[in-house]
Each structure stands twice: as structure tokens, then as C-alpha cells.
């Protein structure tokens, strides 16, 4: 049945980089500690120089601390790259797997262009969740460490610093939520523009003939001003954040400097220590770095959400049953299917004896394609059950189901590196291509079956025949959803001949608009507005004018 997926939580995304997080954390902490020790050592060097003492010792120590912090930085860089690159790849793999598992039902939820954006940008953002979280956690270390060092130098410094820090915290609280909202709105509009471009690219022949590239350009870009509005919003957020940082950061530093100056004038601190206190104050209120950290966190959160939406969408799940022996007896028991609460099929009961040829006819919108998708289990019924040789389809194992059932749509999308690969790996590619009358034109291609698919422009009829060849292997049930509509009559006749010839070892379900095809079926299922109007041979129905009307 439909398996609603568990969403992807921020914690799940973090866990994807689990192995690297300790190293990132360690490097980040060590680097911060070296950074905290450095000002004191520099202070020592300054004071020694001012006092006319040798500076060699503190100088060597300072160089050592700088080296440690550089090494830590390098380690963090490499670990972060390894972590996010690996996690991005795995998240992308999972996302593609999920999108493919959602399968036929997918197109009604996500446009392809939008999904591609989620795979390429969303996954990369989500993968940075772990490092971003570590960054956010360790970002506090310099602040807290600096506070400790300031208190160690003189308590008045710590007091001045804390007053500044309270201001910084206030700024950060205000910032994250607004950034997330602005980025999410921006990304939504961007996705819409990309989806429009995707759509326009499918109509390239119409656009070419009409010379309407310019109109299409305007249509696709129509939301650009809206995007610009959301973009301006993100700049506004950044501008106020930046201004607050520019104000708050020095406020803390100057406060600490004044406290340190007073301490110098009373002899509690040396000039070198005054410089050190300025450095601690800056490190503590390093709000510039912190805003970056929180922006990364916000971006990761937005990415996780976009991935989660796909992960939550229901996907087809398979059982582990095998089919008992049979010839493809197809049964619908009280099957209904809805979309957005609109009924597509209602209370359909039907039994197709194994090995027969059955046609499905009905006017546009009668539910023929939905019935075909249910029979081929590209979707599950909302109520009722579909059975093949007595076994509910959803109980069948993946391989058992797909070896038994084939589906050829009116507009097949061919996937594979080569034409041969697009036909698939069940049985002999060439044999099935011949049966679907595709062998002749494929053989004319530059490298025959090995011709790269992307170098093979095909007419609708050619694509349909490759799509047919792809499904031909079906052992128990072959579903053709208007899959010969783009073939000329002579070719179609040849294909139907091949389809109906031979031993009746499998059931063939043909959705068709053509009376000639319906006439060759053993039985016709006549659908009308989502319900079965009649099940009978074509010649018995033909006298009914309503039936003839179903063909147009």
C-alpha cells in the first residue's frame, strides 16, 4: 500500500555527517583554545619589549600558537569538505531513490524541474546541517573563553564585556527567524520560475514554429520582479544585521578598552594586557562570524525542509509474495481512486479472465488511464483491491510484480544511456523491439541499439514503439494505455497482430480510442464518468449509440 515516508528531520541530516563531527569539533575547539592563549603571549612580548627585555621566548611561543591554530583550521576545512561532500552524495542518492519510488504518482505532486532543484541545491544545503550545527555550538567557545580570560585579567573587564555580550545575544535572536523566512520565500519563487522554464522547454517545437521565444521569455521571467522583491528583503535583513554588528561589536570592545585603560592607569594591567583585553573583547563579540554561522544554519534548515517534503510523500511499497501459476486473471474489487477528493474511479468491480485481450474504452476523463495505472500498480486504490491471479498487487514482491506486469503509456519517457538500455533488460531486447515494430528504425540509427539515447531524436510514434518494446516482456499482464495512438493504422495493426498472436498465456489490457482495436478484444470494459458502464464484447455494445459516442 501507499507508504507515507518519514520526513527528514534536522537531526537526521546532522547524523549523516556523524563520523566527521568529532574531528570537526576537536579541530574547532583546539583552534579556539590556541586563539584564546595567543593574546596573553602577545601581551607578554609587548611588555617585554617595552621593558627592554628579550622578546625571543614569548615570540617563539606566539609563533607556535599561530601554527597550532592554522593546523586546526586546515583539519576543520578538510573534515568539513569530506563530511558535506559525502553526505550530499548520500542525500542525493536517497532523494532520487525516493522520487523514483513515488514513481507514477509523483508528477501530480512535484514538477521535474522542482525536484531537480531539490536534488542539486536542497541536498547540498541539508548536508551542511551537521557542520553548521557544530559551527553554531562551537561559535560560543571564543565568546565564553574570552570572558574567562577577561575575568582572569581583571573583573572589571569581564563586567564591561558581559554588558556588551547581552546586546549581541539580542541581535542574534532577532536575526535567524527573519533570515529563514526571507530565504524560503526567495527559493519558492525561484523554484516557480525554474518550473516554468522546464515547461517551456517541453514545447520547443511549438515555440520554434510560432517564433514566440520572446513571449516565452517574458512568461518564464514574469515573476522576476517578485523574486527581486524577496531578494531585496534578504538584503534588508543583512543590512540591519550588518549595521547592528558594526555598532554592537565595537561597543563591547571599546567598553572593555576603557575598563582596561583605567586598570592600566591604576597599575593593575600592563599596556600589553590592555591590547590583549581588546583582542578578547573582539573575539568575544565576533558577531560577524556568528551571523555567518547562523545564516548557514538557516540555509541548512531550509534545505532539510525541502528534502523532507519529498521524503514524506507517499511511495509505492512492495510486499514479498510471488504469483501462483496462472495466466493473468485480473480482478478489481470495489476499487475507488480519488485525487484532491475528486473521484477518478468509483466502486469498480470487474474480473478479466486470464489470457484474454480486454479493451478499455470511454470518453476523455472517464478514468481509463487511472484504471490502467491501477492495473499496472503505478498507483494504489484509495479503497478496494486489485488482484492478479488471486494475489493483491501490493503484496507482490518488486521483481515478481514488475516481471509479471508491463505498462506502455501514450507518452513514454525513455531512460537509459543507449536506446537498447531504454528498452530494458528483461528478455531479448531485439526480439521485443521486433514485436513492437521498432527494430527496423532502431537498426537504421548510427550505432543501432547502442546509439546514445540523447543523440536519438524520435517522433511520438517511434517513442511509443520503444515504450511498447520496453513493456513487452510482461509475463501475466500487459497494459497499453493508448500506447499505439501515434502509430499509423498499418503499423498499429501489425503491433496488435503481434500482441494477440500466440498462446493465451497472459492478459492484455488495451486502453483505446479506436473501435477497430476494441473489436479485436475478447471483452470491452466501458467506463463512463469513473464507473463501469458495461463489460461485454464490442459487437454486443456497438448497437448502443452511447457506446459509439464514447469513441467520439
Cβ(242)–Cβ(289) under 8 Å?
Answer: no
Task: Classify strands 507-511 and 531-536 as parallel, antiparallel or unpaired.
Answer: unpaired
Of the residues 4, 11, 22, 120, which one makes contact with other proteins according to CB under 8 A = 120
Looking at 131-139, 145-153, 154-162, 424-432, which segment touches other proteins (CB under 8 A)?
424-432
Measured between alpha carbons, how far is residue 14 from residues 79, 94, 183 in Å? 14, 15, 21
Q: Return the residues of window 387-416 that contact other proteins according to CB under 8 A.
A: 398-399, 401-403, 405-407, 409-416
256 contacts 161 by C-beta, under 8 angstroms? yes
Contact residue for other proteins among 17, 28, 128, 244 (CB under 8 A): 244
Angle at 475 between CA 472 and CA 480, to 5 degrees: 45
Q: SS in 3 state form for 297-350? A: HHHHHHHHHHHHHHHHCCEECCCCECCCCCCCCEEEEEEEEEECCEEEEEEEEE
Helix or strand run (H / E) with residue 352? strand 342-352
CB of 332 to other proteins, least distance (A): 18
Residues in binding contact with other proteins, number by CB under 8 A: 172
- Tell me: does residue 450 bind other proteins (CB under 8 A): no
User: 66: which residues sit within 8 A by CB, 6+ positions away?
Assistant: 34, 38
Q: Contacts with other proteins in 5-24 (CB under 8 A)?
A: none
The answer to whether residue 300 forms part of the interface with other proteins (CB under 8 A) is no
Q: Which stretch in 1-9, 19-27, 278-286, 533-541 sits in contact with other proteins by CB under 8 A?
A: 278-286
CB of 140 or CB of 258, closer to other proteins: 258
Name the segment binding other proteins (CB under 8 A); options: 139-147, 166-174, 258-266, 528-536: 258-266
DSSP-assigned beta bridge partners for residue 315: 3
* Closer Cβ to other proteins, 74 or 334, answer by number: 74
Kindly list the distances between the CA atom of residue 41 and the CA atoms of 149, 273, 290, in Å, as whole numbers in the listed order.
Answer: 12, 9, 25
Q: Segment contacting other proteins (CB under 8 A): 63-71, 156-164, 170-178, 380-388?
A: 63-71
What minimum distance in Å lies between the beta carbon of 168 and other proteins?
Answer: 14
Q: Which residues are registered as beta bridge partners of 3? A: 315
Q: At its nearest, how many Å lie between other proteins and the CB of residue 6? A: 19
Under the binding rule (CB under 8 A), the answer on residue 533 touching other proteins is: no
Check if the beta carbon of residue 142 is closer than 8 Å to that of residue 32: yes
Q: What is the largest CA-CA distance in the chain?
A: 117
Binding of residue 264 to other proteins (CB under 8 A):
yes
User: Within 13 A of 467's CA, how many CA atoms are on the CB side?
Assistant: 24
Smallest gap, in angstroms, from Cβ of residue 353 to other proteins? 23
Closer of 250 and 353 to other proteins (Cβ) = 250
What kind and span of H or E run contains 357? Answer: strand 357-361
For residues 334 and 489, which CB has a smaller minimum distance to other proteins in the complex? 489
Smallest gap, in angstroms, from Cβ of residue 281 to other proteins?
A: 10
CB burial class (10 A; 0-12, 13-18, 19+) of residue 336? middle
- The 473-512 contact track toward other proteins, x by CB under 8 A, reads ---------x--xxxxxxx---------------------
Q: 74 to 103, contacts with other proteins by CB under 8 A?
A: 74, 77-78, 80-82, 84-86, 88-89, 92-93, 96-97, 99-103
> Would you count residue 174 as binding other proteins (CB under 8 A)?
no
SS3 string of 396-445? ECHHHHHHHEEEECCCCCCCCCEHHHHHCCCCCHHHHHHHCCCHHHHHCC
In the shown chain, the binding pattern of residues 309 to 338 toward other proteins, with x for contact by CB under 8 A and - for none, equals: -------x----------------------
Interacting residue with other proteins among 324, 446, 501, 543 (CB under 8 A): 446
How many Å apart are CA 378 and CA 383, to the nearest integer?
15
Q: Which is nearer to other proteins, 59 or 535 (CB)?
A: 59
Whole-number minimum distance, CB 388 to other proteins, in Å? Answer: 14
CA dihedral (145, 151, 154, 160) in degrees, to 10, reads 90
Under the criterion CB under 8 A, does residue 364 sit at the interface with other proteins? yes
- Choose which of 470, 476, 506, 538 interacts with other proteins (CB under 8 A): 470
> Least distance to other proteins from the beta carbon of 257, Å?
5
- Report if residue 119 touches other proteins, rule: CB under 8 A: yes
**Given the rule CB under 8 A, which of 19-27, 120-128, 132-140, 160-168 is the region that contacts other proteins?**
120-128
CA separation for the pair 50, 172 (Å, rounded): 40
Per CB under 8 A, 66 contacts other proteins: yes
Amino acid at each position: 500500500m501507499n507508504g507515507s515516508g518519514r520526513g527528514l528531520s534536522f537531526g537526521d541530516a546532522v547524523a549523516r555527517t556523524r563520523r566527521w563531527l568529532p574531528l570537526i569539533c576537536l579541530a574547532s575547539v583546539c583552534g579556539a583554545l590556541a586563539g584564546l592563549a595567543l593574546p596573553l603571549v602577545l601581551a607578554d612580548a609587548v611588555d617585554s619589549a617595552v621593558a627592554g627585555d628579550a622578546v625571543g621566548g614569548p615570540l617563539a611561543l606566539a609563533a607556535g600558537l599561530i601554527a597550532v591554530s592554522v593546523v586546526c583550521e586546515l583539519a576543520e576545512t578538510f573534515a568539513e569538505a569530506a563530511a558535506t561532500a559525502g553526505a550530499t552524495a548520500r542525500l542525493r542518492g536517497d532523494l532520487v531513490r525516493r522520487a523514483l519510488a513515488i514513481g507514477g504518482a509523483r508528477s501530480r505532486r512535484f514538477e521535474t524541474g522542482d525536484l531537480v532543484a531539490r536534488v542539486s541545491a536542497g541536498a547540498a544545503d541539508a548536508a551542511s546541517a551537521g557542520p553548521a550545527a557544530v559551527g553554531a555550538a562551537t561559535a560560543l567557545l571564543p565568546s565564553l573563553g574570552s570572558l574567562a580570560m577577561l575575568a582572569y585579567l581583571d573583573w572589571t573587564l569581564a563586567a564591561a564585556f558581559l554588558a556588551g555580550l547581552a546586546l549581541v545575544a539580542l541581535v542574534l535572536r532577532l536575526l535567524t527567524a527573519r533570515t529563514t523566512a526571507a530565504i524560503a520565500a526567495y527559493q519558492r519563487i525561484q523554484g516557480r520560475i525554474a518550473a516554468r522554464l522546464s515547461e517551456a522547454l517541453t514545447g520547443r517545437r511549438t515555440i520554434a514554429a510560432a517564433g514566440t521565444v520572446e513571449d516565452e521569455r517574458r512568461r518564464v521571467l514574469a515573476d522576476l520582479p517578485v523574486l527581486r522583491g524577496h531578494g531585496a528583503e534578504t538584503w534588508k535583513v543583512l543590512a540591519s544585521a550588518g549595521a547592528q554588528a558594526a555598532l554592537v561589536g565595537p561597543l563591547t570592545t571599546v567598553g572593555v578598552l576603557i575598563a582596561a585603560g583605567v586598570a592600566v592607569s591604576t597599575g593593575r594591567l600592563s599596556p600589553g594586557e590592555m591590547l590583549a583585553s581588546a583582542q578578547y573583547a573582539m573575539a568575544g563579540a565576533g558577531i560577524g562570524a556568528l551571523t555567518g554561522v547562523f545564516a548557514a544554519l538557516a540555509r541548512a534548515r531550509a534545505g532539510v525542509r525541502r528534502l523532507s517534503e519529498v521524503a514524506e510523500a507517499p511511495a509505492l511499497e512492495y510486499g514479498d509474495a510471488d504469483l501462483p501459476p496462472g495466466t493473468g486473471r485480473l480482478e478489481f474489487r470495489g476499487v475507488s481512486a480519488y485525487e484532491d477528493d475528486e473521484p477518478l474511479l468509483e466502486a469498480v468491480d470487474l474480473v478479466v479472465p486470464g489470457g484474454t485481450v480486454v479493451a478499455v474504452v470511454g470518453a476523455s476523463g472517464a478514468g481509463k488511464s487511472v484504471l490502467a495505472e491501477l492495473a499496472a500498480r503505478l498507483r494504489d486504490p484509495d479503497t478496494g483491491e486489485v488482484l492478479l491471479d488471486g494475489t493483491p498487487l501490493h503484496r507482490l514482491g518488486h521483481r515478481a510484480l514488475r516481471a509479471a506486469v508491463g505498462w506502455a503509456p501514450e507518452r513514454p519517457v525513455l531512460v537509459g544511456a543507449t536506446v537498447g538500455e531504454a528498452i530494458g533488460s528483461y528478455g531479448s531486447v531485439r526480439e521485443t523491439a521486433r514485436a513492437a515494430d521498432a527494430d527496423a528504425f532502431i537498426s537504421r540509427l548510427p550505432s543501432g541499439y547502442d546509439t546514445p539515447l540523447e543523440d536519438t531524436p524520435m517522433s511520438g510514434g517511434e517513442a511509443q514503439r520503444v515504450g511498447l518494446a520496453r513493456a513487452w516482456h510482461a509475463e501475466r499482464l500487459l497494459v497499453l494505455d493508448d500506447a499505439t495512438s501515434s502509430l499509423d493504422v498499418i503499423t498499429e495493426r501489425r503491433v496488435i497482430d503481434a500482441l494477440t498472436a500466440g498462446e493465451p498465456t497472459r492478459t492484455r489490457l488495451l486502453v483505446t480510442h479506436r473501435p477497430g482495436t476494441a473489436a479485436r478484444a475478447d471483452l470491452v470494459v466501458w467506463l463512463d464518468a469513473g464507473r463501469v458502464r458495461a463489460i461485454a464484447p464490442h459487437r454486443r455494445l456497438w448497437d448502443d449509440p452511447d457506446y459509439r459516442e464514447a469513441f467520439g
